[in-house]
Structure 1
Amino acid sequence: FFEMKKQILIICLVVVLLVTGGLLFCYFYGQEGHVKHAERTIGSSEHFTKDELNMAADFITEYFRQNFKGCKLQSLTFDEQRSERAKGNNYNSPDTVVLFSDFNVYPTSGTPENYAKKNHDFNWILRRVENGVNGWELLTWGY
């Protein structure tokens, strides 16, 4: 009788571990990018209104949520001087803006272990357009 109880207990523990493992797998591999608690800092601009810059930040936040699975957006920042410097010659248009983000990449997101870190100064280059999402079009992103 004691041996049967022991077997039932072991089976129950295995089932609990399998269910827990399955839930953790679904949680880390099946979710969208985390954006809920991202800090947003939007400075003033001579070229764009505060609303336009917030719509650009909304665009980036939604893009991140949909496309950066297993990552967590920490901050999204606009600073006009940094933005102008980051444009360089390739994107030097009055309708172009650069925003900067920090985010975490988790090893569970399917990335190699050496990418599991905080990424600083990740650039998002957008152009103001009439028919874009929130009035913006993403030109490129990266370092």
Structure 2
Amino acid sequence: MAKIGNDRMIVRGERRTDNSWLFTICYTAHFAESDLGLRFDDAIDIRCVHRDGGQSPHYAPPVSFRATGTRVFRKKRVVVRGEDYDARAGLDAVCAWIRLHHEAPVQTQGVIDDEQPTPPLVPSGGAHHATPRRATAQSLRC
């Protein structure tokens, strides 16, 4: 079963001139020897840390990749458009949820291997380059 490592989780946000945010997420996917050579999907959802519990997640379309080793470094980019948040208020503390699973169609279709949040990021409200405040992955969960 594939796992998301929290040893090198990084999330960075950059506000762009069109009021959208570009988030870059880096993590390491860990695989068992039996997973090597298989294809997996990963997807990202940017969530406010203090969001309402009633909001359902909105994962970006998954991206397929092959498990080429027991540890595979992944770098993902996600754009949050200005209409998806109040541009005047800015973004509150956010984290990226990473979802990892076998690529469909396989016997485990629909089964999520792992799902983990990154450390939180506090984007600067009006600046075009967000200033991250980092915390260890174990200290705060989204």
- Note whether the superposition's TM-score is higher than 0.5: no
When normalised by structure 1's length, the TM-score is: 0.29
Determine which structure has the larger strand proportion and give its number.
Answer: 2
- Of Structure 1 and Structure 2, the greater helix share is in 1
TM score, norm. by length of structure 2? 0.29
Using CA pairs below 8 Å that are at least 6 residues apart, which structure has the higher relative contact order? 2
